């Protein structure tokens, strides 16, 4: 079972923000050696039915440290984590931003039914809920009495529970690893934690297929993607290879991923965003001027991909629409 906070709310202690600098230094992908630019690179003609040839890349905002965890809010605001500035921002479509919380090394995010932002707080080694006034409560920080490594990305499953990855990518230097593996977990409405798998080296991004029957998880260390069968009780089994995203790690590794209504997968990887069909065929790549870490669907029709890429937030319109089991997660 998890350790769940019974206190009202907290603000992040400055010492934890300072520790985030140490963690972030070892985590971030280095810029590619050669100059980069935006390009659409089709490997299959189906790619053009999803990302039309005339699609333009827009810069929403820039001047960040290292962006992660984009989440679209129906009010027209995008929540963005900054792992080096150690804040979560509200970013408006005109590029203006405001700080929501000072938080050491924040990572992946989702919104719940009460409009709380649910964050993978790396330095806290926890899943936390953040209120609109910038305070937080801890939802889970331990498995079987041992502290998590550094929760990285989180999604909502077809059952309304939270599913998250716990690699060591953001474990602060000098901090002991209490769990001797890097796991995939399920957090239920009562605060219960269930270990789903521990067979990956550095599990990172994850997403469910639209029918809820498969869970895709990528591995930033092995640079591949696994797919698991999903049981009615939320368990996963039959983990198997789905695809690879090879290339120099300086060009980027598998990280965040999302799915569209047809089951196509959009995943960050070397040089940009790799687009896959549900059968594991690489359809093409959206090459970007900065290496992306994560992405999410936004705008009222979920037809825009918002992309967090190093110092900037970008967006592109697509010819498809993003898929979610809920517009927002149910409250835990």
Q: How confident is the model at residue 6 (pLDDT cuts 50, 70, 90)?
A: very low
Inform me whether the pLDDT recorded for 21 exceeds 60.
no
Per-residue confidence (pLDDT) for residue 1, from 0 to 100? 36
Name the least confident of 39-43, 132-136, 176-180, 322-326.
322-326
Q: Where are the domains of the chain?
A: 14-27+40-317
Per-residue confidence (pLDDT) for residue 10, from 0 to 100? 54
pLDDT tens readout for residues 209-241: 999 999 999 999 999 999 999 999 999 999 999
Per-residue confidence (pLDDT) for residue 113, from 0 to 100? 77
Q: Is 187 or 34 the better-scoring residue by pLDDT?
A: 187
Q: Place domain 14-27+40-317 in its CATH homologous superfamily.
A: TolB, C-terminal domain (2.120.10.30)
Per-residue confidence (pLDDT) for residue 35, from 0 to 100? 79
Inform me whether the pLDDT recorded for 312 exceeds 70.
yes
Per-residue confidence (pLDDT) for residue 172, from 0 to 100? 85
Name the least confident of 15-29, 53-67, 257-271.
15-29
Per-residue confidence (pLDDT) for residue 318, from 0 to 100? 98
Q: What does pTM read for this prediction?
A: 0.90
Mean pLDDT of the region 94-121: 93
Inform me whether the pLDDT recorded for 13 exceeds 50.
yes
Mean pLDDT of the region 181-209: 97
Per-residue confidence (pLDDT) for residue 324, from 0 to 100? 87
Q: How confident is the model at residue 328 (pLDDT cuts 50, 70, 90)?
A: low
Mean pLDDT of the region 90-109: 95
The C-alpha angle 180, 167, 221, rounded to 5 degrees, equals 105
Mean pLDDT of the region 270-286: 98
pLDDT tens readout for residues 23-38: 444 454 444 445 799 9
């Amino acid at each position: 079972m998890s350790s769940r906070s019974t206190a009202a709310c907290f603000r992040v202690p400055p010492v934890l923000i300072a520790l985030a600098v140490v963690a972030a230094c070892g985590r971030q992908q280095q810029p590619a050696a050669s100059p980069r630019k935006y390009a659409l690179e089709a490997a299959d003609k189906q790619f053009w039915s999803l990302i039309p040839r005339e699609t333009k890349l827009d810069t929403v905002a820039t001047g960040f440290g290292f962006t992660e965890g984009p989440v679209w809010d129906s009010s027209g605001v995008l929540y963005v984590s900054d792992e080096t500035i150690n804040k979560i921002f509200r970013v408006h479509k005109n590029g203006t931003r405001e700080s929501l919380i000072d938080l050491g090394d924040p990572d992946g995010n989702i919104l719940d039914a009460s409009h709380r932002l649910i964050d993978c707080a790396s330095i806290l080694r926890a899943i936390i809920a953040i209120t609109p006034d910038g305070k937080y409560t801890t939802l889970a920080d331990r498995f079987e009495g041992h502290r998590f490594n550094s929760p990285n990305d989180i999604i909502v499953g077809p059952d309304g529970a939270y599913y998250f990855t716990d690699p060591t990518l953001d474990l602060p230097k000098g901090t002991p690893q209490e769990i001797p593996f890097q796991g995939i977990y399920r957090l239920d409405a009562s605060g219960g934690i269930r270990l789903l798998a521990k067979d990956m080296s550095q599990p990172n991004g994850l997403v469910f297929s639209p029918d809820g029957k498969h869970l895709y998880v990528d591995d930033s260390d092995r640079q591949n993607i696994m797919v698991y069968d999903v049981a009615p009780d939320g368990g996963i089994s039959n983990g198997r290879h789905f695809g690879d995203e090879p290339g120099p790690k300086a060009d980027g590794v598998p990280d965040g991923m999302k799915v569209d209504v047809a089951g196509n997968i959009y995943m960050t990887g070397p040089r940009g965003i790799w687009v896959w069909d549900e059968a594991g065929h690489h359809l093409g790549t959206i090459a970007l001027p900065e290496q992306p870490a994560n992405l999410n669907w936004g705008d009222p029709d979920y037809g825009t991909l918002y992309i967090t890429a190093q110092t900037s937030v970008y967006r592109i319109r697509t010819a498809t629409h993003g898929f979610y089991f809920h517009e927002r997660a149910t409250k835990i």
